[in-house]
Amino acid sequence: MTTNSRRDFLQKLAASAITLPFLSSQAAFGKATPLAQHSQGPVLRVALMGLGGYASRVAEAMQSCERAKITGLISGTPGKLEKWGAKYDVPEKSRYNYTNFDEIRDNPTIDAVYIITPNALHHDQAIRVAKAGKHVICEKPMAVNAKEGQEMVDACAAAGVKLLVGYRMHFEPNTLEVVRMRQSGELGKILFFQGLSGFRIGDPNQWRLDKDLAGGGALMDIGIYAVNGARYMVGEEPVWVTAQESKTDPAKFKDGVDETIQFQLGFPSGAVASCLSTYNMNYLDRFFLNGEKGFAELQPATGYGPIKGRTNKGELTQPHVVHQTVQMDEMAGIILDGNKPIVPVDGLEGLKDLKILDAIYQACSTGNKQELKLV
């Protein structure tokens, strides 16, 4: 994508700007460092926390960002800090570990921290970042339950910083085209959504299969795409959920780590959703939306791309973009300019998903329909 076409795309997604500069002045770094500038506006200076596989993808994608750059690193592995610091030109004074990262409050070259650590660590880390006066970008799921999520929202509000969640699909062009079609009425009254999210998970010793780190199993990791997708595809908040769990390998999927969950959502208009979340089946990455006047299908729907799809009017032909590049540029606009994305990515959006996840697990354990109150 050319610079001009990306600029047009970003401007199309963003609303009007209200500049909210985030400046800090700390003696440890000398004079206050003003926000870096780009032709599109100030540049968001980001510290990456948790230098694992997905952080590598984010870091590489950010090299093409126009409004976001890596200026800090946080990791528990000294070797990673040294290697990443050299690779991304992050000075030693802007590299931190999990014990001392509260010191970012004294670093005026960092505006926000992107938390890319195991799910169960998000809560405490986000609150510490907020107390240090930095904006929080947190990978999904935002936390392991709604109680923790609410505490994160409250902490960021109290600190006067923004809390955003890494919902990269909210900026993906084919996804947004389906949202546009639904909003414009081209699909008519929405009747049904199907979300299939799953893959066969490998290494049984990885953190995603450790309840203390993951907070659950497939639902937390991959099923949340279907939960979140049902909401932005249907365009309503669900009012009830039912769910059923099945497990074929209890040795690999221990207590509290779900292997496969089927869940159903009901919406105020009468629309329903039927979804599947699993760690034991490949080739499951599909969204299907059915309305009285048409349909839309995305397959793959949530992978790293390219996202492909079709509607009753034909193939979707929006340009493929690197999800994390656009996500970080858009988040810079949200944090620095007050832009409003077409589909929200704030902490309240993440909290709604957590309330649904809580209800799905409750429905599985009780066998009963759970009422939802998200608005």
User: Is there a single domain that holds both residue 211 and residue 100?
Assistant: no
User: Is there a single domain that holds both residue 184 and residue 153?
Assistant: no
- Extract the tokens encoding 304: 């790293």
Active site residues: 140, 225
Report the pLDDT value the prediction gives residue 35, as an integer from 0 to 100: 58
Domain span at 365:
170-319+347-371
pTM as predicted: 0.90
Q: What is the mean pLDDT of each run of 10 residues along the chain (375 residues)?
A: 42 35 38 54 95 98 98 98 98 98 98 98 98 98 98 98 98 98 98 98 96 98 98 98 98 97 98 98 98 98 97 97 98 98 98 98 98 96
Task: Give 183's contacts (C-beta < 8 A, 6+ positions apart).
Answer: 235
Report the pLDDT value the prediction gives residue 41, as an integer from 0 to 100: 74
Q: Is the CA virtual torsion 7, 12, 15, 16 positive or negative?
A: positive
DSSP for 107-164, written as a single string: -TT--EEEE-S-GGGHHHHHHHHHHTT-EEEEPSSSSSSHHHHHHHHHHHHHHT--EE
CATH of the domain at 11: 3.40.50.720
Last residue of one domain, picked from the residues 168, 185, 212: 168
User: Is there a single domain that holds both residue 150 and residue 253?
Assistant: no
* 274 beta partners: 194, 264
